[in-house]
Structure 1
Amino acid sequence: MTELRSLLALLPRPVRTLPADLAVVLIFVALTNVAVLAPVISETSLRIPLGLVFVLFIPGYAFIAALFPEEGDSPTDTDSDTDTDSDSDSEAAPDSTWGSETDWGSSSSSTADDNTDETGLLQHGLGRSGIDGIERVALSFGLSIAITPLLGLILNFTPWGIRLVPIMITVSLFTVLATVIAAVRRWNLPADQRFRVPYKSWYATGRSELLEPDSRGDALLNILLIASILLAAGSVTFAVMVPPDGEQFSAVYILSEDDDGEYVADNYPTEFTQGESEELVVGVDNNEHRTVDYSVVLVEQQVSQDGNETVVDEQRELERFETQLAHNETWHHSHDVEPTMTGEDIRLVWLLYPDDIPEDVSMETTDYHVHLWVDVEE
């Protein structure tokens, strides 16, 4: 303990005298940035609970701390003070012995008491200094929900845009700046007027309620309460840390390049000359919730119509492509397409195979494929 105090004495005075709740805010900002931006830790589920608290509570709490550095009076204390003042006034009122004057006096005093009560309510209700703990927590949630989108809107008009790193930096800088202002404003107040989080009283009250119950019934209720809290916290943590996988699927599609160099799902080449090629882009999306080795097989087919059924008369393989994608990753591959068959209504098919390729590559052996009808002249 002595060594710890010696180490704390080496810190600068502003750090040593920083209020505990504001120190927790700064520590939480640092932990959230590490959980979200650090290379290895950002891949874990730790970023989810920290990020939620960071976005929904921390900025608003720092802002409220900067606006209201003083200790607040709760409305219940105000009501009790008003009742006490009213009682003392009624006890101090002198008795009157004159009949008619008593009636007039009582009427006048009643009117004066009403005015006094209304003035007292205004002074205690509307003019009370600061805010209490419940109001501070509620406003912290509300202002955080308002501040974070507003900062994102401002970022939208900057070159950085609404992306993860700019948002984290902006919200962190805002929170740190508000925390510094809150600390300075508290230091400028007398010690007995500064806002403090009553950790010690909370601990003493909780310890007496849990460890020193008045009866066995209270002890049993305490045990049930603790078990309920642990169960609820565990359920929420599990739901956040292990979200459901949802639908699992892959996707394959073809794109072309427009005049601006952007990939679009339009303006595909449909007229080919044998021996000449056209550039196309094949795209693959992985939504399998795992890393997948993909193979894309490009084939050309001559087909005929048998009633309502399309029959493949001849098929030739043109190219194969391979890639590995993590979950929620996309791959675009530009390649030259050169059909070898000639005639009208030649079907070019891109077949997508997750994991393994069967010996018979066709539209019947995979769930993922995309095709393009072209005419090829000799």
Structure 2
Amino acid sequence: MSREFDWRLLLPAGIRTLPADLAAIVMVVLATGIAVLFPVISETPLRIALGLPFVLFIPGYAFIAALFPEAGEVTPDSDGEKLGITEGGIDGIERVALSFGTSIAISPLIGLILNFTPWGIRLVPIVISLSGFTLISTIVAAKRRQALPPEEQFSVPYREWIASARVELLEPDTKTDAALNVLLAISVMLAVTSVGYAVAVPKEGESFSELYLLTENDDGELVADNYPANLTQGEPTSLYVGIGNQEHEPVNYSLVVELQRVSVSNNSTTVLEEERLHQFETHLEHNESWQLNHTIQPQLTGERLRLTYLLYKSEPPAEPTVENAYREAHLWVNVSRSQPNRENRSSVSVGDGIETDF
């Protein structure tokens, strides 16, 4: 006599003792962690296929399961027909609806909390936090459900659903029902195919690179504010420069830093004199960023000089300019002459080429 195969025997012993729906929740959490965090698998459509329910449904379902471990009590009428769910539990449809709603509330709330932690809103902290919340809720749900009498425990009637679906699809009462079943199967296949194609071939967003300048405030935080406006010849000034790669491909970046004396007239800017301060190079993968704390020690002096950062993909040209740069950022600064030591006279070159001793 053949026995029906129990798929739960494939699960680890610790998960096998859980109710079927809670065991499925644990398996989805584990599978999502693998699909998101493992380098090779994270590049496949499996990451999106598991990530969406992991964010939009799974945390809420575990939370609702912890709040409502009992099944809804069905009140029969005098003829034995089911009238509805009484207080003390919720039915499957309510449970699913609440799961979506609470997941949409829980996920942003966890992100908001992470924003005030040293880890920030990043992929790994979000996955770990949501996984931890879901697993803790699942443990609480399992404990509360096991504390109830078996007849009061909520359970997913998946065997009844499968049997009912098998009868409806394979044993239709009329030809019309058979035709509708075929149409339904085709519709489901088309829907799954469309979603699968959208996941497997996602439309890439806009490609761009970020270039930004930051300073360090009194609390040691990097901010886009309080940029230096007055520098002194030869004295170092600290700045942070950052690059972000959103090109959907790896990029080799080159960054040229120049101090320029410019003339602006009739909406046209002409570079009269320039001083090369730095040149940096870095390689970034897509969605990767790079920041560098560096110092500038200008020798060129004058008022309203342009401290210019020119970003290039690959090597920079022989004559880097704002016009041929891929991205450009600049600050307007005044550079005053350093106070010379009276015992050591020196000479510097001024803008008109005249050499002056002092």
Q: For the Cα contact (< 8 Å) 2:36–2:47, is it kept in 1?
A: yes
Q: Select which of 273, 288, 298 maps to 2:247.
A: 288
Q: Partner letter of residue 140 of structure 2? A: A
- Aligned residue runs from structure 1 range 39-188, under 5 A: 39-73=39-73, 78=76, 81-82=77-78, 84=79, 127=86, 130-148=89-107, 163-164=125-126, 166-186=128-148, 188=149
After TM superposition, give the deviation of residue 319 of structure 1 in Å. Answer: 1.9
Q: CA–CA distance in 2 between the matches of 1:273 and 1:165?
A: 48
| Residues 1:22 and 2:22 are matched in the alignment | yes
What is the match of residue 331 of structure 1? 290
| Residues 1:251 and 2:210 are matched in the alignment | yes
| Residues 1:276 and 2:238 are matched in the alignment | no
Q: Partner letter of residue 346 of structure 1? A: L
Q: Partner letter of residue 319 of structure 2? A: D
Given the superposition, is the C-alpha separation of residues 222 and 358 from structure 1 closer, same or farther in structure 2, using an over 3 Å criterion? farther
Given the superposition, is the C-alpha separation of residues 272 and 348 from structure 1 closer, same or farther in structure 2, using an over 3 Å criterion? same
Q: CA–CA distance in 2 between the matches of 1:142 and 1:368?
A: 43
TM-score, reference length from structure 1: 0.72
| Residues 1:341 and 2:300 are matched in the alignment | yes
After TM superposition, give the deviation of residue 321 of structure 1 in Å. Answer: 0.4
Q: For the Cα contact (< 8 Å) 1:291–1:325, is it kept in 2?
A: yes
Greater C-alpha radius of gyration: 1
Q: Partner letter of residue 20 of structure 1? A: A
Q: CA–CA distance in 2 between the matches of 1:348 and 1:155?
A: 36
Q: CA–CA distance in 2 between the matches of 1:317 and 1:157?
A: 40
Q: Select which of 176, 186, 202 maps to 2:161.
A: 202
Q: CA–CA distance in 1 between the matches of 2:86 and 2:263?
A: 87
After TM superposition, give the deviation of residue 225 of structure 1 in Å. Answer: 1.1
What is the match of residue 371 of structure 1? 330
After TM superposition, give the deviation of residue 73 of structure 1 in Å. Answer: 4.8
The Cα RMSD (Å) is 3.8
Q: Partner letter of residue 214 of structure 2? A: L
Q: CA–CA distance in 2 between the matches of 1:307 and 1:319?
A: 30
Q: For the Cα contact (< 8 Å) 1:58–1:175, is it kept in 2?
A: no
Q: Deviations over 1:188-236 (max 9, x none)?
A: 335xx55443333322222232233345443332222112112222323
After TM superposition, give the deviation of residue 295 of structure 1 in Å. Answer: 0.6
Q: Select which of 150, 164, 168 maps to 1:189.
A: 150
Q: CA–CA distance in 1 between the matches of 2:41 and 2:150?
A: 41
Q: For the Cα contact (< 8 Å) 1:18–1:183, is it kept in 2?
A: no
After TM superposition, give the deviation of residue 32 of structure 1 in Å. Answer: 2.6
Given the superposition, is the C-alpha separation of residues 295 and 179 from structure 1 closer, same or farther in structure 2, using an over 3 Å criterion? same
After TM superposition, give the deviation of residue 66 of structure 1 in Å. Answer: 4.6
Q: For the Cα contact (< 8 Å) 1:36–1:42, is it kept in 2?
A: yes
Q: For the Cα contact (< 8 Å) 1:248–1:289, is it kept in 2?
A: yes
Q: For the Cα contact (< 8 Å) 1:292–1:324, is it kept in 2?
A: yes
After TM superposition, give the deviation of residue 369 of structure 1 in Å. Answer: 0.7
Q: Select which of 298, 301, 306 maps to 2:260.
A: 301
SS in 2 for 1:254: strand
Q: For the Cα contact (< 8 Å) 2:29–2:54, is it kept in 1?
A: yes
Q: CA–CA distance in 1 between the matches of 2:133 and 2:232?
A: 57
What is the match of residue 221 of structure 1? 180
After TM superposition, give the deviation of residue 252 of structure 1 in Å. Answer: 1.7
After TM superposition, give the deviation of residue 18 of structure 1 in Å. Answer: 4.0
Q: CA–CA distance in 2 between the matches of 1:145 and 1:325?
A: 33
After TM superposition, give the deviation of residue 247 of structure 1 in Å. Answer: 1.9
Q: Which moved more, 1:261-270 or 1:362-371?
A: 261-270
Q: CA–CA distance in 1 between the matches of 2:215 and 2:63?
A: 50
Q: CA–CA distance in 1 between the matches of 2:110 and 2:301?
A: 59
Q: Name the structure where helix makes up a greater proportion of residues.
A: 1
After TM superposition, give the deviation of residue 329 of structure 1 in Å. Answer: 2.4
Given the superposition, is the C-alpha separation of residues 230 and 355 from structure 1 closer, same or farther in structure 2, using an over 3 Å criterion? farther
Q: Select which of 207, 219, 224 maps to 1:265.
A: 224
SS in 1 for 2:147: helix
Q: Which runs of 5+ in 1 are unaligned?
A: 86-120
What is the match of residue 342 of structure 2? none
Higher relative contact order (CA 8 A, sep 6+): 1
Q: Name the structure where strand makes up a greater proportion of residues.
A: 2
After TM superposition, give the deviation of residue 184 of structure 1 in Å. Answer: 1.1
Q: Partner letter of residue 298 of structure 2? A: P
What is the match of residue 35 of structure 1? 35
Q: Which runs of 5+ in 2 are unaligned?
A: 338-358
Q: For the Cα contact (< 8 Å) 2:15–2:26, is it kept in 1?
A: no
Report the number of matched residues: 331
Q: For the Cα contact (< 8 Å) 1:62–1:182, is it kept in 2?
A: no
Q: Which moved more, 1:279-288 or 1:168-177?
A: 168-177
SS in 2 for 1:261: coil
TM-score, reference length from structure 2: 0.75
